[in-house]
Structures are given as C-alpha cells and as structure tokens.
Structure 1
Amino acid sequence: MKFKAVLGFLFAASLSLNASAEKVAVLGVQQALLASEAAADYRQSLKAEFAKEDKKMLDLEKQVKATREKLKKNKDLASEAELKKMSIQFQKVFAEYQKSGQALQQKKMQREQAFIQEMRPRLDKVIRDLIEKEGYDVVIAKQATLFTKKELDITPRVVELLNKQ
C-alpha cells in the first residue's frame, strides 16, 4: 500500500513538475546496474565461484529423479517394507536437495547484494555527473512511469558512462 502511495505521489509530482521543468528524464537504476560490463563480469565470477555447488545440485536433482523413478517402478513389485524403505530414502534425498538449493540460493543472493552495495557509489556518481552535465531538472524512476518516450530514457547513457569508469 505504501508503494502505491509513493507511486501516486511521484506521478502527481511529475505532472506538476513537468509544467515547470525544462528537462525531464526517466532512469531504470537497477536495469542500468545489471546491464553494465561490471555486472556481466561479476556474473561470470559468480558462475565460476559456484560451479562446484551448482554441479552438486544437478547431481542431487538426478538422484531425486532416479529415486522417484525407482519408487514408481517398484510400487507394485516390492513388499510393503521395501516400499517404505524406498519412500524414506526418497524423502531424505529430496530434503537434502531442497536444503542445499535454498542454501545455495541464499549465498548467491548475498553475493549479489554485496555487488550492488559495492557498485552503488559508482552508479550514484555517474548519475549525479550526468544530471549536472546534461542539466536535468527532473529524473523519474522508470518503474514509476506508465509511459515515456524513448528519447527521455537515460538508462542506456548511464550504462555507457558506468562502463567507462
């Protein structure tokens, strides 16, 4: 609800400012950051860093599928005790798969947040410099706009400047 109120305020403010503002632009801050060369390099380093863990997850996934298939195939042929044993084995493998997947996802999210925190000062400087150099009166978050002309979007320009740093 709070987000909608902020969006409404930004929209109303942009309408009233647009009447007096000489130069208006929109910017996708997150989009600019993720489209940068630094982000691409970081994704590659993360891929290398987590390669072993990703392989482990693939192996666990294969184990889960194989255990499930074994359980399905032997459902009619195995005794009650054997079925119970296979079911317990499946549950253990599946639980390990889920736990490992969640832990890996959490690690990746933490690393991505660290990257964003590290890049934020550079991004802020690029944005401030561009605003001063180009003389923008108003820069609106791209996510807060319903429609904008392509010419008003400075996101590609911010990516270009960010890549030069």
Structure 2
Amino acid sequence: MAIHHWLKGAGASALALLTLLAGCDDQRIRELEEGVSTEAQVRERFGEPERIWPEDGGARTLEYNRQPAGQRNYMITIGADGKMSALRQVLAPHHFEKVQPGMAQEQVRRLLGKPAKRITYDLKQETEWDWNWGDGPRHMIFTVVFGPDGTVRRSGSAEKIPDGP
C-alpha cells in the first residue's frame, strides 16, 4: 500500500515537473525575438544545446532536448549574422508527417531531436525510437521503427498508457 501511494506521489511529482518545464520554456521563448536575439541570449536562457547542426550559408541550429521528462524538443536556428532566425518546437504532427520510409536515423534525429527512448529488438531486427509529446491534455508517444539497415520502416503515434493504478 505504501508503494502504491509513493507511486501516485511520484506520478504527481512528474506531472508537476512537466508543467514547470513547459512554463519555464514558455517564459524563455517570450524573452527571445527572431531577428533580434543573439546566440548568447539564446544560450543564456536555454543553456548549452544537446547538439549543434550546421546549416547552409553559415547558419547553425541548436537542438534543445526536453526528453524523456518533457513533451517538447526545440530547434533554434542562429543565422550567419549571429541572430536567432527561427525557434521551432518540433514534436508535433506536422513534423511527424515528414518522417517517411527509407529515411536514415540521422535524418530523423535532425528533424525531431534526441528521442526519449531507444529499444532494439534483435529477433525482429528492428529498433524503435520514441518521443513523448502532448496533444492538448493527452500524453502521446510518437514511435519510429527502423530496420536493420538503419532506415525508417514505419512510424506512428499512440496515446501513452499511464503507469500503474
């Protein structure tokens, strides 16, 4: 019984943390302006990026991962002039639609950021990457299944089943 109450408390704590993270990110985003904010200002608010992706013309995209605890991943593009040119939250259906059979793992990572979980099924010769995301009040998981050659076989979203009673 005590474990059950602890698990309920842990679930409530995780939900509170998710809400806090989302609120903090929303505040950070409001403090930045495309075409005006500098890379230093982005890093001051978001910290060090998970990864930096080179772009054409000297621009760079900073990946800010909120997985596995959060439901968002951000890609913030810094133009060659050192100013923020785009800030995108990439865990959303319009980005998931871009994941197509035959895409390489690196292309998917570049599109969606680091996944929350990676699992390999040796007998099936498949690897699944999962991202947590939100659809209004629903907690969702987007899964991409890769074959043994490291390319996308299929992908899709499903509602996340809550842990325990």
TM-score over 0.5 (shorter chain)? no
TM-score by length of 2: 0.24
Q: Which has the higher strand share?
A: 2
Q: Identify the structure with bigger relative contact order (alpha carbons < 8 Å, sequence gap 6+).
A: 1
**Structure number having the greater helix percentage:** 1
TM-score, with length taken from structure 1 = 0.24
Rg larger in structure: 1
